[in-house]
Each structure stands twice: as structure tokens, then as C-alpha cells.
Amino acid sequence: MKLKDSLYTIVQADGGNPMPRFDIRLNPGHTIYQAHFPEQPVTPGVCLIQIACELLEQLVGKRLQIQKIKQVKFMAVVSPREVSTVSYLFNKVTEADASGAVKVQVTISDSERDYTTLSMTCIPQAIQSSL
């Protein structure tokens, strides 16, 4: 399931070099928030990771999937009751080689704090389905 236009919407996209940035608005009414967790909605860390992959797809213009995560740190929880909009800043985007692999470093933040830092490699989806 794609989370775009369901768990979040893009309110501003700046594909500029060298550091593309997306501002997204979270949808506090989403089913995920009733399940994670009842009475204490928190954006699941894995959804924050998936959103990074979806935004990267938009940036490079192809379907991607996560192959490797070097490291993700979740420094503060993103609760939709307290945080409505966060920014995904792509500090580094490297299209590695002919395989089409893309390496990224992303920071998720708002004006108050950094919530998450993420360093991962995504590959085109076609490679996976041919295995």
C-alpha cells in the first residue's frame, strides 16, 4: 500500500539541487493511528522510512524498493496530535551505478527538532520482480 495521499500529503516539493526537500502533512484520521497505538497515536517508524522511499521515487522518477538500511535513528516520536507537518530533507542523493541503485541520507524534522535520520539504498523495483 502506498502511504501517499492516505497517511500523508505533500504540501510542498522542492526538487532543487543539491538538497531536495519535501514538506508533508500527516493525516491524523488514518486507520494506522487508531492501531499504533490505541489512545496514543504515534507515526510508526517504519512508515517514516516508507515515506522517504516514496518521496525518493518521486524525485528520481522511477519505482523503487528498499534494499539496505545502513542506519536509522528515531530521536523523537512523531505524534499527529502534536506534529502536523514535517520536512524530509535529502542531504545526499547518489545514483550509484548502472544498476540504478540510489543511496540517500535523509533528515526528518520541523522547526522544533530533528525526529529521524536515515541512511539507505534503494533499487529499482523491476530488478526484484525478475528474481
Partner 1 sequence: MTTLHQIDVHELLPQQEPFVMVSRLTENDDTHTTSELDILPSNLFVDDDCFTAPGLIEHIAQTCAARLGYQNKYVLQRPVQLGFIGSVRHFEVSRLPRVGQTIQTRIEVMGEILGMTLISGTTHCEGDVVATTELKIAIQD
Interface region with partner 1, contact rule CB under 8 A, candidates 8-16, 19-27, 71-79, 101-109: 71-79
| Closest distance of CB 18 from partner 1, Å | 26
Rg (CA), the chain: 15
58 sits near partner 1 (criterion: CB under 8 A): no
Give the amino acid at 131.
Answer: L
Measured from the CB atom, the residue of 65 and 87 that comes closer to partner 1 is 65
34 sits near partner 1 (criterion: CB under 8 A): yes
Exposure class string for 54-90: b at 16+ Cβ within 10 A, else e: bbbbebbeeebeebeeeebeeeeebebeebeebbbbb
DSSP assignment, residue 4?
A: B
Interface region with partner 1, contact rule CB under 8 A, candidates 13-21, 42-50, 83-91, 101-109: 42-50
Question: How many CB atoms within 10 Å of residue 34?
Answer: 11
Instruction: Give me 122's grid cell.
Output: 534503494
- In the window 74-103, what residues touch partner 1 (CB under 8 A)? 74, 77
| Interacting residues toward partner 1 by CB under 8 A | 1-2, 31-32, 34-38, 40, 42, 44-47, 49-50, 53, 65-74, 77, 125, 128-129, 131
